Structure 1
Amino acid sequence: MATLEASFLQGQLEERKRRLEVAVASAPRNSSLAGLLREVDSALDRMTEGTYGLCLECHDSVERDRLLADPLVRYCLDHLTQPQRAALQRDLDLASQVQRNLLPQKGLRVGCWETSYHFAPVGAVSGDYCDLIPSDGRLLFLLGDVSGKGVAASMLMAQLHALFRSLTGMSLPLGQIVTYVNRFFCECALAGQYATLVCGLAKPTGEIELHNAGHCPAIVVGCGGVSCIEPNGLPLGMFLETEFSATPVQLEAGDTLFLYTDGLSEASNESGEYGVDRVMTLVHQQAARQPAELIDACLDDVRAFTNGVPSFDDMTVLALRRCD
């Protein structure tokens, strides 16, 4: 395990020990509290010995995401008991349901903007983030990708959702909102965690205020052809004092803004990756289609490209079209 992560987990365990000691002193007859304190002490002892994070059964490493979610885990997934497996599956099913309930309305239309998206986790939960927030005739759209996979990434995805929803309700400028979220990530996320994000405010005039914090290039397609808008900022959570600037984009009637996570552009077969160039070509060929049809065509093409090669990353795609 990386040094920063080990240091973070040690700090977490020491803080839990301190709180448990206070609780045990207040309720000395509570056997469950005493048992938890013994588990924390044991985990700290394993850190000192250098055996922390190793499965007690096979001595291989316990899954990183599980340790970050529960520093007391002592067995890898392969050596859980059947009741433990069943409990874990129930938790994952519930987490998956909660995450899907955070997704925006399908086929949302706000003023002259119509939308569609596709959200496909590679496992039970995803680190991809997608949201659409109507605001006084304008539409705030967000697409992001939290580093890592699994439960830890999905928890940060849920935090992104809550942060943007809360800050949007305060009527702050979008650039200021992105700055606040970056500060939160820097101060509160686990060591080494960050998020790429592309977001924008689509206005009734067809103008879009676009911010891209280290995410995949945005694609604009329409009668004027196809163009690629590169990121103009660093991912969220990398540096505390980072400035985020907007790129103005003007869409005419029939133009589409196409956004995606790297689960699409980095999909691969035996010959290599799908790539941004192929995404641009496909979107250009299907430029006249409605957002849902455009996304379906893209998914059909990537499935044909991968030809059965399994995906190892979450995939989310969002299309936003000016329709007046």
Structure 2
Amino acid sequence: MAEAEKVGTILVVDDEPMNIMVLRGLLGHAGYAVESALNGPEGLEKARSLRPDMVLLDVMMPGESGFETCKKLKGDSATAHIPVIFITCLDEMSNKLAGLDLGAVDYITKPFMAAEVVARVRSHMNFQRRQSEIIDAQATRLGQVHNAQMSLLVKPEALPEARFAVHFLPVLEAGGDFYDVLSFGGGQTAYFLADVSGHDLGASFITSSLKALFRQHASQGKSPAEILSGMNRILCAITTEEVYLTAVCLCLDRFQGRYSLASGGHPPVVGQLEGSARMLDISGLPLGMFEDAEYAVLEGGMAEGDRFYLYTDGLAENTGAYVTSQAFRSHLLESCLHNAIMPLSAAVVNMVRAMTGEEKPTDDVVLLGVDV
């Protein structure tokens, strides 16, 4: 039994006990564990509980036909992945096509030959096994990329003087959103947030270079516009025409009580200043598109108790709204004020949940909050 379990488990659904007995003998001899059911509903229930590696399904059964059972199997997320082979006396091409359209992988016609049954089962089981191995290998690689990407992101506890908190929800194991924070001492800190076009592995490879670029161009006394401009020139040289990114850079001088920010086509920063919340709008071209792009600076005063929020457009897209829509902006500002008295680490989590709900995001989401 241990060897059979290692080879695979097959569920045979047939209203004829003799057919089940024959198939049990054939497949058991070939090394498979065999379970059985005498009708469609029983077969569906066993498929859900046993999760076999394959289902051999008779078409002509009293009550619920095999076609109906197959449709239910493929319509249930718990059993949709299980390959189905029909075994039937129906030899017309239209019947075979109907079964394949329902998601079956093969068709064996009665009366069947023992060698044919075993060969077809083994072929599809091997294919399924190879497919699973490929998926597992890809998941491992993606997990390694995810871990590498996460290791690039500075943690709030590693830089307490920066007084920031972040909530990051990537769509895939590797995302296209990136942030970084640099403290220069003397109360001066720079915050950078970017969103690379797309959210696939290609986007994640670009994000891995952003940390080096930001730290190369950000330094004490440099304006956020100078930082973005320097990064843009390099990105134009190393990226293809199809790749670009929006970005925002916020610089704080806590001793002087001043902030300055520049944007490269990025959603506006939210400023919770003097007890009210407002969008700090400033225009600018995305990075990586035009080498001679120029960036303006928006400056203002700030005081202890004020906050800033930087975010990516996924915060809006996961609500079904545009990041530029008034409905989204109003919702975000309202959420900001609602969490004004909350600790920053709790506020960023609460705001993301309020904006996106509990559903898996359709686009990467980053919300980075900063306490003055």
Q: When the two structures are superposed, what TM-score results if normalisation uses the length of structure 1?
A: 0.67
8 Å contact from structure 2 (residues 224, 261) kept in 1: no
Which of residues 276, 282, 285 in structure 1 aligns to 2:338? 285
Residue number in structure 1 paired with 2:257 = 206
| 1:267-290 superposed Cα distances (whole Å, 9 cap, x missing partner) | 2269x9972220111102222333
8 Å contact from structure 1 (residues 197, 235) kept in 2: yes
Displacement of 1:258 after TM fit?
1.0
| 1:244-282 superposed Cα distances (whole Å, 9 cap, x missing partner) | 121103211101011111111222269x99722201111
Higher relative contact order by CA 8 Å / sep ≥ 6: 1 or 2? 1
Take 2:292 and 2:320, find their aligned partners in 1: how far apart are those partners? 40
| 1:35-80 superposed Cα distances (whole Å, 9 cap, x missing partner) | xxxxxxxxxxxxxxxxxxxxxxxxxxxxxxxxxxxxxxxxxxx9x8
Q: Which amino acid aligns with 1:106?
A: P
Residue number in structure 1 paired with 2:84 = none
1:180 is the counterpart of 2:230? yes
Displacement of 1:310 after TM fit?
3.8
8 Å contact from structure 1 (residues 269, 309) kept in 2: no
| 1:111-132 superposed Cα distances (whole Å, 9 cap, x missing partner) | xx52111111011011001111
Structure 1 range deviating more: 93-102 or 191-200? 191-200
SS in 2 for 1:275: helix
1:125 is the counterpart of 2:174? yes
Greater than 4 Å deviation, 4+ residue runs: 169-173
Q: Which amino acid aligns with 2:170?
A: P
Q: Which amino acid aligns with 1:265?
A: A
Take 2:225 and 2:266, find their aligned partners in 1: how far apart are those partners? 16
Counterpart mapping for 1:41-60 below 5 A = none
8 Å contact from structure 1 (residues 210, 249) kept in 2: no
Extract unaligned runs of 5+ from structure 1. 1-77
8 Å contact from structure 1 (residues 222, 287) kept in 2: no
Displacement of 1:99 after TM fit?
0.5
1:225 is the counterpart of 2:257? no
Displacement of 1:172 after TM fit?
5.1
Q: Which amino acid aligns with 2:178?
A: Y
8 Å contact from structure 1 (residues 266, 275) kept in 2: no
SS in 1 for 2:352: helix
| 1:127-170 superposed Cα distances (whole Å, 9 cap, x missing partner) | 00111111123111011100011111111111111111233369
Residue number in structure 1 paired with 2:365 = 315
Cα 1:244–1:321 shift into 2, 3 Å: same
Residue number in structure 2 paired with 1:245 = 296
Q: Which amino acid aligns with 2:160?
A: R
SS in 1 for 2:163: strand
8 Å contact from structure 1 (residues 268, 309) kept in 2: no
Residue number in structure 1 paired with 2:34 = none
Cα 1:233–1:84 shift into 2, 3 Å: same
Take 2:283 and 2:200, find their aligned partners in 1: how far apart are those partners? 28
SS in 2 for 1:96: helix
| 1:76-95 superposed Cα distances (whole Å, 9 cap, x missing partner) | xx9x8444333322211111
Number of residue pairs matched by the alignment:
239
Counting aligned pairs with the same residue, the percent is: 26
Take 1:183 and 1:269, find their aligned partners in 2: how far apart are those partners? 34
Q: Which amino acid aligns with 1:283?
A: C
Take 1:230 and 1:182, find their aligned partners in 2: how far apart are those partners? 20
Which of residues 177, 182, 190 in structure 1 aligns to 2:240? 190
Q: Which amino acid aligns with 2:304?
A: A
Counterpart mapping for 1:265-280 below 5 A = 265-268=316-319, 275-280=328-333
1:295 is the counterpart of 2:348? yes
Take 1:215 and 1:299, find their aligned partners in 2: how far apart are those partners? 18
